[in-house]
């Protein structure tokens, strides 16, 4: 297609997704415990099975395939012969529709996976296994979907219905567990264990395995979209949806994500991306974001530029429609937690589920915290740096958990240090990360400087010696490749230890225990 038309289609796909980004098994891993206390890292936000989302043709490669790695780690057919037609990959990686890459995955992996390649599989199961051997003890796998992106992307094999996509990903998670079990000698023998409650998770970790918690991050849970302010779901739908998802094993969930829905208003995106996502909000709901100048210290991200879409994105506006002009920042979404949203939060409390605060507007987050405080319910999580930090004390006071987005090592260390006094004040030892792998966001980039990771190095507890990661013919080094795939997470943590010393590793190693305590308290507090 002509370059300008391709560019406009790319932008439309991105705004609907809300994801525009500019440029064989060895011995069982060991776990250090004191009495029933576990030790190890938590990734509270990742997406192993998002390749089935968005119509199933947008993301290339799988975390496993019954026919082996050569089939699992293959590029999308439309990326051949040289990546020139991979316009979505090119735009998200380089900011332009033009570009090439070597589409061959296994066994050479010349150009992918990479920390900044957003359409290629980053969490093959043996890479997750290396992260587990290096200290990962809890992985929250968020099942993810986006109806708008699926509808607009021209290639698809799956339904665009969000809940159908969620069900399929839950099935794929069970299939991966069965696959690993078969490799390890039969049912229940594998290191990858999907858990239903904190007691089971604690036992799995004490048995030296990885506890996997299923969550959901989607824009229209149970069909709860809104059109011109009119909700498209009912309380009965919410009850049926929560019951079904709980039966599937889901224990953690977002109420809204990127776009205002029938449950809550969202925390804005900023800058050019904010203008684009705002247009997506209009196309999905019939309304642009509505904002006021905040009168409280808490605020959403500012909407900028003020009512202006840069070329050629402005051409995507319907005739006669322009972005609204907003009052001065700081901006707060006028939409908070709706009556249906309150009903969903109360429904999650009744089921002992963990409520994700990220992506809620401050008005919605404030009301959600009010409800949780009134119920003395500790089951609240901020998993990937998308909540106002002024809420952290309230989250910790409830007994909740906070984990940071998977930034580069220096940025992650700086945020860990900045927020440490709050954790100390509430006697919370544990910290964690939300890597957002396969979430169409960049993984940690390599760190510039001479004092990088020296290979081989020991895992945090000394039980495993880790050399450079090799898959097929490719060898990765975190000093030059960053976190090109999930297997390099232990290397990233070692790099942070080099920057900040053993203190940051001790806090991260207390992360799994902190998460379990939050989950246990939520289970005990449910009516």
| Residue 512 in this model has a pLDDT that exceeds 90 | yes
pLDDT value at position 28?
43
Q: Which of 514, 521, 342 is nearest to 429 (CA)?
A: 514
Q: Please state, as a whole number, how many other Cβ atoms lie within 10 Å of the Cβ of residue 25.
A: 12
pLDDT value at position 85?
87
pLDDT value at position 2?
47
Strands (E), 406-468: 433-434, 457-458, 465-466
Instruction: Report the SS3 class of residue 124.
Output: coil
pLDDT value at position 126?
98
Question: Residue 338 — pLDDT band, cuts 50, 70, 90?
Answer: very high
| Residue 14 in this model has a pLDDT that exceeds 60 | no
Question: Residue 102 — pLDDT band, cuts 50, 70, 90?
Answer: very high
CA distance 474 to 90: 22
pLDDT value at position 284?
86
- Token pair listed for 446: 């390599």
Question: Residue 308 — pLDDT band, cuts 50, 70, 90?
Answer: low
Helices marked H in 335-475: 339-350, 362-375, 392-398, 409-425
Contact criterion met (CB below 8 Å) for 233 and 340: yes
Terminal-to-terminal C-alpha distance of the chain: 57
454 DSSP 8-state letter: P
CA distance 455 to 283: 50
| Residue 173 in this model has a pLDDT that exceeds 70 | yes
Between 138 and 441, the more confident residue is: 138
pLDDT value at position 280?
80
CA distance 287 to 228: 6
Q: If you search the block for the tokens 């006071």, which residue do you land on? A: 397
Question: Residue 25 — pLDDT band, cuts 50, 70, 90?
Answer: very low
Question: Residue 274 — pLDDT band, cuts 50, 70, 90?
Answer: confident
Mean pLDDT of 435-462: 92
CA distance 506 to 500: 11
Q: What residue segments make up the domains of the chain, in order of their start?
A: 3-221+376-443+509-525
Contact criterion met (CB below 8 Å) for 175 and 72: no
CA distance 207 to 201: 10
pLDDT value at position 29?
46
pLDDT value at position 145?
94
pLDDT digits 0-9 by tens, 110-168:
999 999 999 999 999 999 999 999 999 999 999 999 887 788 788 999 999 999 999 99
Between 75 and 451, the more confident residue is: 75
Contact criterion met (CB below 8 Å) for 472 and 106: yes
pLDDT value at position 17?
52
pLDDT value at position 152?
76
Kindly report which listed range (56-65, 91-100, 244-253, 411-420) carries the lowest average pLDDT score. 91-100
Between 16 and 527, the more confident residue is: 527
pLDDT value at position 33?
41
pLDDT value at position 30?
42
Residues written for the chain: 527
pLDDT value at position 153?
81
Kindly report which listed range (93-102, 166-175, 233-242, 471-480) carries the lowest average pLDDT score. 93-102
pLDDT value at position 148?
79
Residue 259 makes CB contacts below 8 A (sequence gap 6+) with: 18, 148, 219, 266, 277, 280, 281, 284, 285
Strands (E), 274-329: 291-293
pLDDT digits 0-9 by tens, 347-400:
999 999 999 999 999 999 999 999 999 999 999 999 999 999 999 999 999 999
pLDDT value at position 420?
95
Q: How much is the mean pLDDT over the chain? A: 91
pLDDT value at position 16?
52
Q: Which of 191, 173, 171, 170 is nearest to 181 (CA)?
A: 191
| Residue 13 in this model has a pLDDT that exceeds 80 | no
324 DSSP 8-state letter: P
pLDDT value at position 309?
63
pLDDT value at position 88?
81
């Amino acid at each position: 297609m002509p370059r300008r038309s391709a560019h406009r289609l790319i932008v439309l796909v991105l705004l609907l997704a809300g994801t525009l980004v500019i440029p064989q098994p060895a011995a069982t891993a060991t776990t250090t415990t004191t009495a029933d206390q576990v030790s190890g890292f938590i990734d509270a936000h990742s997406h192993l099975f998002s390749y089935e989302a968005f119509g199933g043709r947008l993301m290339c490669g799988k975390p496993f395939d019954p026919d082996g790695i050569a089939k699992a780690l293959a590029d999308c057919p439309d990326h051949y012969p040289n990546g020139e037609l991979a316009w979505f990959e090119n735009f998200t990686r380089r900011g332009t529709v033009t570009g090439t890459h070597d589409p061959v995955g296994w066994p050479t992996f010349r150009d992918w996976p990479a920390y900044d390649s957003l359409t290629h599989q980053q969490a093959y199961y043996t890479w997750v296994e290396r992260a587990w051997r290096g200290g990962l003890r809890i992985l929250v796998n968020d099942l993810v979907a986006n109806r708008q992106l699926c509808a607009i992307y021209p290639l698809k094999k799956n339904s665009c219905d969000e809940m159908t996509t969620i069900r399929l990903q839950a099935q794929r998670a069970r299939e991966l567990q069965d696959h690993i079990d078969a490799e390890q000698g039969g049912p229940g023998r594998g290191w990858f264990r999907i858990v239903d409650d904190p007691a089971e998770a604690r036992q799995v970790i004490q048995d030296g395995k990885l506890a996997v918690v299923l969550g959901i991050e989607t824009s229209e849970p149970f069909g709860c979209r809104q059109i011109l302010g009119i909700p498209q779901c009912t309380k009965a739908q919410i009850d049926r949806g929560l019951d079904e998802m709980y039966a599937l094993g889901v224990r953690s969930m977002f109420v809204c994500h990127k776009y205002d829905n029938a449950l809550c208003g969202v925390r804005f995106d900023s800058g050019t991306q904010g203008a684009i996502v705002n247009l997506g909000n209009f196309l999905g709901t019939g309304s642009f974001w509505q904002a006021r100048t905040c009168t409280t210290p808490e605020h959403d991200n500012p909407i900028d530029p003020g009512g202006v879409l840069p070329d050629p994105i402005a051409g995507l506006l319907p005739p006669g429609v322009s972005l609204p002009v907003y009052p001065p920042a700081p901006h707060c979404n006028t939409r908070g937690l709706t009556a249906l949203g309150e009903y969903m939060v109360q429904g999650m409390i009744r089921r002992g589920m963990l409520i994700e605060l990220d992506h809620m507007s401050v008005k919605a987050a404030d009301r959600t915290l009010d409800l949780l405080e009134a119920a003395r319910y500790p089951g609240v999580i901020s998993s990937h740096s998308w909540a106002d930090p002024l809420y952290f004390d309230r989250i910790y006071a409830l007994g909740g958990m906070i984990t940071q987005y998977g930034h580069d090592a220096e940025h992650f260390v700086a945020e860990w240090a900045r927020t440490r006094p709050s954790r100390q004040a509430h006697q919370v030892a544990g910290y964690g990360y939300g890597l957002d792998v396969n979430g169409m966001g960049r993984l940690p980039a390599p760190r510039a400087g001479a004092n990088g990771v020296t290979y081989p190095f020991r895992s945090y507890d000394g039980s495993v010696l880790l050399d450079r990661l090799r898959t097929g013919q490719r060898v990765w080094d975190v000093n030059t490749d960053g976190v090109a795939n999930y297997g390099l997470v232990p290397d990233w943590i070692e790099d942070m230890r080099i920057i900040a010393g053993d203190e940051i590793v001790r806090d991260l190693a207390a992360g799994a225990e902190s998460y379990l305590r939050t989950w246990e308290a939520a289970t005990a507090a449910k009516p």
